[in-house]
Structure 1
Amino acid sequence: MILTVTANPALDVSYRVDRLRPGHTHRIGAVFERAGGKGFNVSRVLHDQGIPTRALGPVGGILGDSLRADLLDAGLPHDLLPVAAATRMTIAVVADEATMFNEPGGPLSALDWSRLQDLVGSYLPRTEVLVCSGSLPLDAPDSSYADFVSLAAAHGVPTVVDVGGAPLRAAAEAGVAIVKPNAEELAAAVGEGDPLTGARQLHSLGAGAVVVSLGPDGLLAVTADGEWRATLPQPVVGNPTGAGDAAVAALADGLRRDLPWPDRLRLAVTWAGAAVAAPVAGSVDPDVLTELHDQVTITAL
């Protein structure tokens, strides 16, 4: 299976409005609530595609109970670690584009970090790929995901990491198989504004492959096998909140199946585009999924 770790879960709330007007009262057309955090979104996409997965993460407080209930209702295999820190909330206000409001996560104690590592370790003998995805809680060490990379490597399990800044750099130095930052996260890790140059720098630090999300401009990949750009002829209109998570799910599945890199990137762009067309993060639109696959252009750099 593909095991996902969400170190900083959230209850995701999405509001749909006709348009966003700061300083005005808004009537909300639709409300969606679900267990969120990038790793949970990755597992949801995998589960919907029939790929075995299990989602792990620490939860606490009233929102933690809501998150647990949603995962049970969705039938998503999971194992949640009860902790003292309260689970946070994220709010997306979706009009022509999504405006995000993300609460910080409460700090985890050293004991709870150790318990989370033990929980992950207990599943690694049954795991093909480990995914560590999303922000870290307050006061978490930069090496948090790098430690999971090393733990998984000891079991012969490759890891995909989606995070930014210093934790991204630490994961690369730990020899992670794939990192999937966006352009801002990459720049924060290496201090380089050009995505291709930054990806090459991160790759040279020890990451097996660096795949950079460029929003509507697709993906850029620097790997040991070559460098590519993957794009759609035109952007998909919708909610881009979970597009990166769908791309991570595709990359993890491609790694699990040892697909050639162009095929992995085609899959990642297709799933990301289908996620934009879906109403909430962690879902892909099945009709768009079929429509987009043959529209992806892969260009060698």
Structure 2
Amino acid sequence: MIYTVTFNPALDYAVYLDSFELGATNRTTREELRCGGKGINVSIVLHNLGVESRALGFLAGFTGETIRAWLTELGVASDFITLPGGMSRINVKLKLDGETEINGQGPDITPDALETLYGKLEKLREGDTLVLAGSIPATLPDDVYERILARLEGRGVRFVVDATGELLLNVLRYRPFLVKPNHEELSEMCGTVLDSADTAGIRACARALQEKGARNVLVSMAGAGALLVTEDGRCIRQAAARGELVNSVGAGDSMVAGFLAGFQRTGDYRAALRLGAAAGGATAFSAALATRSQVEAVLETL
């Protein structure tokens, strides 16, 4: 079973405008509302690809109940912890000559609620996969990823971490099965400047993460595609899917989901990378997270 953890889920409210004037009344041309959060995105795309997963994390208030109901309607299994106060975030995405985001804070996560999450994670067993994705809310200890991996170390659970900076670097000693920075995040962690076309530099930095403990490093490089450095010493390039960019939100999460789905089905890194690229591209070319038919259509072009 694949489990995903989203510490701070949200309702993402996208509003499209022809123009915007600060301090004035602005009217939208259309709106879109969906549930969001990196782990939730992974679970939704896994479900769309026919792979079972369970979404974990924290919800609060009427927005939290809306997220829970939405996932149920989609058919995505979840086991969220309900917090006693506050409400899950509403993130506003202003779509006007690019995207401007206004992200909510989210509810306070109490120590008791965090212990409840630890208890749920204690049920993971050998062969399960745990996906930790995204930033840590201010109400949680900043080493919470490390605490989780330390508790599960030695149980044969595959760890997948999609995070940045110290949050990622500090968990590498727990030998995560997969980490997925983009090339800019990889640049920051390696203290250098990497162009998306600098295959040699990206490969070297990815291998530096392996030396710190990562088993497989998947680097997304926007229009330059993706690069996977595997634990068996290979470096596999994958060209980017070709299409019109509609919405980049969730594309990286979709790549993670596609990779996991492909690896679960085939056990082959090249096939997993190809499906990951197709899923990421299909989401980028869609108004929402990609469906199975959209992923399969993009896959045929790679």
**Structure 1 residues 135-174: aligned runs within 5 Å:** 135-174=135-174
Change (3 A) 1:236 1:173: farther
**After superposition, where does 1:119-134 map in structure 2 within 5 Å?**
119-122=120-123, 124-125=124-125, 128-134=128-134
> What displacement does 1:142 show?
3.6
TM-score, length basis structure 2: 0.86
Query: 105-114 vs 58-67, which deviates more?
Result: 105-114
Separation (CA, whole Å) in 1 of partners of 2:295 and 2:101: 25
Q: What's the CA shift for 1:269? A: 0.6
SS in 2 for 1:278: coil
**Could you give the per-residue CA deviations for residues 204-262 of structure 1, whole angstroms, max 9, x where no partner exists?**
11011111222232212222231122122645421010101110111222343453221
Runs ≥4 residues deviating over 6 A: none
State the Cα deviation string for residues 96-115 of structure 1 (Å, max 9, x = none): 64433323344423332222
Matched residues in 2 for 1:243 and 1:271: separation? 8
The amino acid across from 2:252 in the alignment is: G
Which residues in structure 2 correspond to 1:187-266 (within 5 Å)?
187-194=187-194, 195-225=202-232, 226-232=234-240, 234-257=242-265, 259-266=267-274
Distance 1:168 1:125, change over 3 A: same
Unmatched runs of 5 consecutive residues or more in structure 1: 297-301
* Structure 1 residue 103 corresponds to structure 2 residue 104: yes
Comparing 144-153 with 63-72, greater Cα deviation is found at 144-153
Task: Tell me by how many angstroms 1:140 deviates.
Answer: 3.0
Q: How many pairs were matched up?
A: 292
CA contact (8 A) 1:149 1:158 kept: no
User: For residues 20 and 221 of structure 1, what CA distance do their matches in structure 2 show?
Assistant: 41
Determine if contact 2:241/2:298 at 8 Å carries over to the other structure. Answer: no
**Change beyond 3 A, Cα 1:96–1:262:** farther
Measured on the aligned residues, the alpha-carbon RMSD in Å equals 2.5
The answer as to whether partners of 2:91 and 2:101 remain within 8 angstroms in 1 is yes
Corresponding residue of 2:295: 289
**AA paired with 2:45?**
V
Structure 2: which amino acid aligns with 1:292? V
Deviation at 1:26, TM superposition (A): 4.3
For residue 155 of structure 1, give the secondary structure of its aligned residue in structure 2. Answer: coil
Distance in structure 2 (CA, Å) of the matches to 1:21 and 1:132? 36
Distance in 1 (CA, whole Å) between partners of 2:45 and 2:226 is 19
